[in-house]
Structure 1
Amino acid sequence: MTTVNGLPAHILLVHAIVVLLPLSALLLVLSSVWPKARGKLAAPNAVLAVLALILVPITTNAGEWLERRVPRTQLLRDHTELGDTALWVAIPVAVLALVVWWRQRENATVTDKNDVGAVEDNAAVATAVRRKTYLAPASTKVTTVIAVVAVLVAGATLYDVYRIGDSGAQASWQGKFSENAAPRGTR
């Protein structure tokens, strides 16, 4: 993807990354530390995190296209090098969001089995009893480890997105505006 409506695609796509990736990281923390939020947010955040992950290489590819069409500066080189790190924070956000969602799904199955009670011929009980869990959905130790890792990953993600965005703004705008307002004249 090179241009959208006459504008470089990178400058449009980057807005999606700047919003969706930090939002997904924050929702990851919320859903990993708060059980009520986990039930409501785990699945939508898994979708959001995967979408952000897919958008990162599309956005960096569009940025590389744009890089070849603007004057080369040290600020631009710094931005493009930092931009390549976005994938390395988007991957853990997506993986952890999928883990939190999968554990929530497994936990719901275990909970459904326990809620049914003594009704032995119920199809839900038979399904829940046969379904094997893989990510220890009832383990508070695993939940704690995931929550701690999620907080660390989210912090790294927010910091990385900030650094990339700041370097892009510096590359785009440094020395290209006046500290004084332009005189208002006739158009």
Structure 2
Amino acid sequence: MDWQFDGIPLHPLLVHLTTVSVPVAALTAIVTAAWPAARRWLAVGAPVIALVALVSVPLATSSGEWLEHREKETALLERHTELADGLLPWSIAVFVLLTLWWGWHRFAAPRVTNDGVARAVGIVGPVLLVAAGIGSLVEVVVIGHAGAVSVWKG
């Protein structure tokens, strides 16, 4: 695909979408894990936010790979592109966990009669959501910093 519009690369635009949507999805995961009222308020919106973030990641990486082949190869650019490949698994984790968490509370939790299962999900779910949220936040900051260094110092 030609990742440009009127001769201007689309990567910066798509990167801005990613650098906003991934942290918003990560913070949504952390908030819904820690605050039950937010979980009820966000409801299906939480997985939708995470889906937007998930879709933005391959768009940004694909446009970045397209742009990489048109730029001078440097060690800074190589580091940025290598780091960028690590964001997709975190975004998948946030999306899947938020979807499961929403589904659990929407469909399964009201029907579960085993207190042990409910307690285990109530402990493991938030821990995984917070871990995935923090992991994706750290990853997007590190990738963004490496990209900025590549552009401004490379």
TM-score, scaled to structure 2: 0.89
1:35-184 correspondence runs (5 A):
35-106=36-107, 110=110, 139-174=118-153
Gaps of 5+ in 2: none
Aligned to 1:17: 18
Q: Would you tell me which structure has more helix in proportion to its own residues? A: 2
CA distance in 2: counterparts of 1:34 and 1:167, whole angstroms: 33
TM superposition shift of 1:107: 5.6
- Give every structure 1 segment of 4 or more consecutive aligned residues whose post-TM-superposition deviation is greater than 3 Å: none
CA distance in 1: counterparts of 2:33 and 2:119, whole angstroms: 11
Report if aligned partners of 1:42, 1:100 keep a CA contact under 8 Å in 2. Answer: no
Report if aligned partners of 1:50, 1:94 keep a CA contact under 8 Å in 2. Answer: yes
CA distance in 2: counterparts of 1:5 and 1:40, whole angstroms: 42
Aligned to 1:126: none
SS in 1 for 2:72: coil
CA distance in 2: counterparts of 1:4 and 1:150, whole angstroms: 37
TM superposition shift of 1:42: 3.2
CA distance in 2: counterparts of 1:169 and 1:33, whole angstroms: 32
Give the aligned CA root-mean-square deviation in angstroms: 1.9
**How many percent of aligned residue pairs carry the same amino acid?**
39
Structure 1 or 2, whichever has the larger Rg, is 1
Residues 42/6 of structure 1: CA separation in 2 closer, same or farther (3 Å cut):
farther
The one-character-per-residue Cα deviations of 1:139-169 (angstroms, maximum 9, x if unpaired) are 1321211111111111111110011000000
CA distance in 1: counterparts of 2:33 and 2:46, whole angstroms: 11
CA distance in 1: counterparts of 2:5 and 2:34, whole angstroms: 39
* Equivalent residue pairs, number: 150
SS in 2 for 1:139: helix
Letter in 2 for 1:49: A
Gaps of 5+ in 1: 111-131, 176-187
